[in-house]
A and B are shown apart, each in its own frame.
Chain A
Amino acid sequence: MTLVVTDLTVDHGAIRAINNISFRVEEGQLAAVIGANGAGKTTLLRTLSGLTHATGGSASWHGTELLYSKPEKLVRRGVSHVSEGKSVIPELTVKENLHLGALWRKNSDEAHATQEMILDTFPRLRDRLDQQADILSGGERQMLAIGRALMSKPSLLLLDEPSLGLAPLLVAQIFQSIRALTSQMGLTVVLVEQNAMSALKIADMGIVLNRGRIAASDSSVHLIANPQVRAAYLGY
């Protein structure tokens, strides 16, 4: 199982957001995608999950062609996406948000086991199961959004800025949880982040996007050591 993206190009009308990029993420790896605002990170994830249509190229996961398919189909093939911003439904309870991710799963015992694992990792959600999600703090919402995506039993997890709007201490904590959970479940992860350093620290590999093109792609250890990347994206 490998995520293979080849010559991918995505346009928003006249704006070319992703310009002919190719990369691979091996099974079980966590890839961090970093880059400035407007670099095309969100567009890349939305294209991989079927929300946005590509202009050209191909992308496949585990033999499934990802482009030109619908998100509700792809989630059944193991692709789960936590979109940018707090990807929860505030009008529903915490439990309903989680349950939503597993609606299409036939095996409810299995879904229940997944839920227990998520609640063990994010105990704050357990205390609030029957409350409406709009009372959750930013961090708790992010935990819930990730939890909802995991309830769909993914093999490929796409995360768009899980650190958005969180206090630095919480960022470290969430990232540790993401790493622990995805390793435990054997997931392949594409993690889009502004918080480049924190992301690279938990990642196996990193991809630097610049105006829709790949500026650098390497193991995260190498990227952190790369002087140009440090200067441009890690801020020292």
Chain B
Amino acid sequence: MYKFLNTVLIGITSGAIYSLMALALVLVWRSTRVVNFAQAGQALLSTYIGYEVIQNFHSFWLALAIAMVAGAAVAALIDAIFMRTLFKRAAEGPIAGVAPIIATLGLLGLIRALLGLVVGGKEASIRPPVSNIGFTISGHTLAFSPLKLLIVASVLFLMLVLSLIFQHTNVGLALRASAYAPEIARLAGVKVDGIRTLGWALAGAAGAAAGMLQTPDGNGALSPDSLEFSLLLVFGFIAAVIGGLESLVGAVLGGLLLGLVLAFVLIYISGSLVFITAFVLLIIVLLVKPGGLIGSRRGRRA
């Protein structure tokens, strides 16, 4: 009974972080039709910035806020300076489809290499802002701590805010129109280039939050070649695909579903099967329901 409950709780927490990464990927996909592999690098860079803030000001919350702002700024710069130029240069032919993807892979490598140069082998870690010791009910310690509660709540909050922006504001309407039909959006007067950059910025902030929340939930360690951040990208991507790539709600549900499945495999079967399960799940979704399990018509809009 407790084993089952704990598995669910572990799944929800790790799933919530995959959801945040998935949100970031979906935001960029929705605003520019690019699968942004650099997102992991951007998240890592933002988390390092957050780490520096903690070292200087000793506040996790301030660090989270600054990391998100920095993440947004970095993403906006990448889009405005790099991606926009790329789209103009490689606008036609077979290269137009591949160039952006290769470019984001290149950026991922570049960011990590630069971070390696700057921070080198210096050890860095982020301690949890609140206790990571599980709650206890009638003598049993649950795999759910104040920190995990905080993570889940933050993710739900961010999803809510982003959904509200997208569905109920003028900026959100411009973002959706630019993603679905840039030409019609321009004819309607939307300054599509700027709006796309804004989409990248929102994604950058979400990715930064994923990095800042994930790090203290793991062993806290940060490094330029962090395996945790690579996994975050892979699992976030799988979650986004499960959610249908288009929908913010889908991304969150996809992340939670992936988190739960992986937790059950980890605890009930074997840790060595976790990876395989994630990829098998990805392939099954792509083959059986390429539009995503959760990519329903209504879900697509939200």
Contacts and interface: CB of A to CB of B under 8 A. Distances in A.
- Which secondary structure dominates chain B's binding surface? helix
A71 B173 contact: no
A87 B187 contact: yes
A231 to B, nearest CB: 36
Contacts of A83: 183-184, 187
Contacts of B192: 72
A71 B181 CA distance: 14
B188 A75 contact: yes
Interface string A50-83: 0100000000000000000011100110001101
Interface in A150-171: 151-152
Contacts of A91: 176, 180, 300-301
B189 A103 contact: yes
A71 B190 CA distance: 9
Contacts of A72: 186, 189-192
Interface in B185-209: 185-192
Contacts of A81: 187
Nearest to B185: A100
B177 interface: yes
Contact of B186 (A70, A88, A92): A70
B173 A100 contact: yes
Contact of B176 (A87, A92, A149, A151): A92
25 contacts: A70-B186, A80-B187, A83-B183, A83-B184, A83-B187, A87-B184, A87-B187, A88-B184, A89-B177, A89-B185, A90-B180, A91-B180, A92-B173, A92-B176, A96-B177, A99-B173, A100-B173, A100-B174, A100-B177, A101-B188, A101-B189, A103-B174, A103-B190, A132-B297, A132-B301
B187 A103 contact: no
B180 A89 contact: yes
Nearest to B172: A96
Given A89-B180, A89-B181, A103 B186 contact: no
A148 B155 CA distance: 36
Interface in B130-175: 170, 173-174
Interface string A27-42: 0000000000000000
A76 B176 CA distance: 21
A149 B229 CA distance: 46
Contacts of A152: 188-189
A71 B182 CA distance: 11
B174 A92 contact: no
Contacts of B301: 91, 132
A23 interface: no
A151 B189 CA distance: 11
A92 B185 CA distance: 12
Nearest to A49: B187
